[in-house]
Structure 1
Amino acid sequence: MSGALEAMRTRRSWSKVTDEAPSRAELLDLVSAAGRVADHSALRPWRLIELRGDDRLRLGAAIAKAEGDSKPSTKPLRAPLLIAVVASHKKSSKVPHWEQEAVASGVAHALSLLLDDAGWGVFWRTGGYTRSKAVAKAHGLAKDEALLGWLYVGGKPANARGGGRKPVDARKHVTRMPKKAKKVS
């Protein structure tokens, strides 16, 4: 079985991780590989923001502001490294924004598989506040950028149990093109 097939079959989210995290050098090496996803017109319409240490506290304050809470959110403290996934839209007559966000999502998913393969626990966190002004400002996003969420990264706990997802029944999700086109209303 190929490494990629095994990585996809065994993929899981690690909602609890240890305080260990990959070094910046290790992260950059993995990002370089993840950036090879399919990318129409090679626009590279994405960027990643590395959050460590007090960056996570500032994010917690921005999330609280976005949600109207008086106390900072502790969610960003659940992992030692957060990687903000940003769709950085480029002007293109051929590649619409949705496709550029798909590329950014592809980079994030590829990176999560590479991090897992390197021995790190990863989970992707999203939420309505990803599109809030307070959170965008905290990340220094430009007007043509959208935050898609964060990869939370840390060590895999030694006592972790299973938790993998059930296999997908591909027959329920793969169909053939109909012989006759359906009427579109």
Structure 2
Amino acid sequence: MTALDAVRRRASWSKVTDDAPTREQLLPLIEAAGRVADHSSLRPWRLIELRGDDRLILGSAMAKAADDSKPSSKPLRAPLLIAIVASFRKSDKVPRWEQEAVASGVAHTLSLLLDEAGWGVLWRTGGLTRSKAVAKAHGLSKNEELLGWLYVGGKPEGKDAGRRKFVDADEMLTRMPEPKKR
């Protein structure tokens, strides 16, 4: 399968089975995902693996952030969650937005690699990613921000991930406008 084939067939899996890749299976995929374009090779990202009771801790932190008395069950929707963290580095050459783009690129590339390896993946985000309770549960430092979680599990047999809308590439690719005459 080519990279083009893998990208074209990628879809988000909102429901997955209890199967999940092992840490040993994840490591080469993370190593490959880490090869995204990274100005000055700052590596302004890290990933946090959440399995088992880690997901319960996250559910409690989400409840605290939402001022809810009942822990959130959302982290239990997949056996493995991979938190995507932007770890901003001091740099005169690489602005914060570009460092966040690198972390996002790693997350997206990792999701493609997991999908190609046969795993169901969904990138979940939301307002709780910026809450103090959730940041504390993940052990984030002041120079870090949570960009969301990759929910990872087995692809259910006989199920489709869902439909993706067609992208009209011709509409999305434009030309530079002509200069205005004075």
Gaps of 5+ in 2: none
SS at match of 1:124: strand
Aligned partner letter, 1:132: S
How far the C-alpha of 1:165 sits from its partner, in A, is 0.6
Counterpart of 2:31, as a letter, is: S
SS of 1:153's partner is strand
Structure 1 partner of 2:41 = 42
Q: Which range is displaced more, 51-60 or 164-173?
A: 164-173
> CA separation in 1, counterparts of 2:174 and 2:122?
30
Once superposed, which parts of structure 1, at least 4 consecutive aligned residues long, lie more than 4 Å away? Answer: none
Give the TM-score taking structure 1 as reference length. Answer: 0.95
SS at match of 2:49: strand
The 2-side partners of 1:80 and 1:103 are apart by 26
Query: Aligned-residue CA RMSD in angstroms?
Result: 1.4
Residue ranges of structure 1 left out of the alignment (5+ in a row): none
What residue number does 2:116 align with?
A: 117
SS at match of 1:30: helix
Counterpart Cα distance in 2 of 1:102 and 1:26:
25
Who is 1:129 aligned against?
128
Cα separation, partners in 2 of 1:9 and 1:72, compared to 1, 3 Å:
same
- Is this contact kept in 2: 1:60–1:74, CA < 8 A? yes
Tell me the SS of whatever aligns to 1:154.
strand
Secondary structure of 1:113's counterpart equals: helix
Aligned residues: 182
Deviation at 1:166, TM superposition (A): 2.5
Q: How far apart, in 1, do the equivalents of 2:46 and 2:73 lie?
A: 24
> Scaled by the length of structure 2, what TM-score is found?
0.97
| 1:159 to partner: Cα distance | 2.2
Structure 1 residue 179 and structure 2 residue 178: aligned?
Answer: yes
Conserved 8 A contact 2:115-2:121: yes
Cα deviation, residue 181, structure 1: 5.6
CA contact (8 A) 2:13 2:122 kept: yes
Percent pairwise identity:
75
Cα deviations by residue, 1:58-95 (Å, 9 ceiling, x for unpaired)? 00000000011000000000000000000000000011
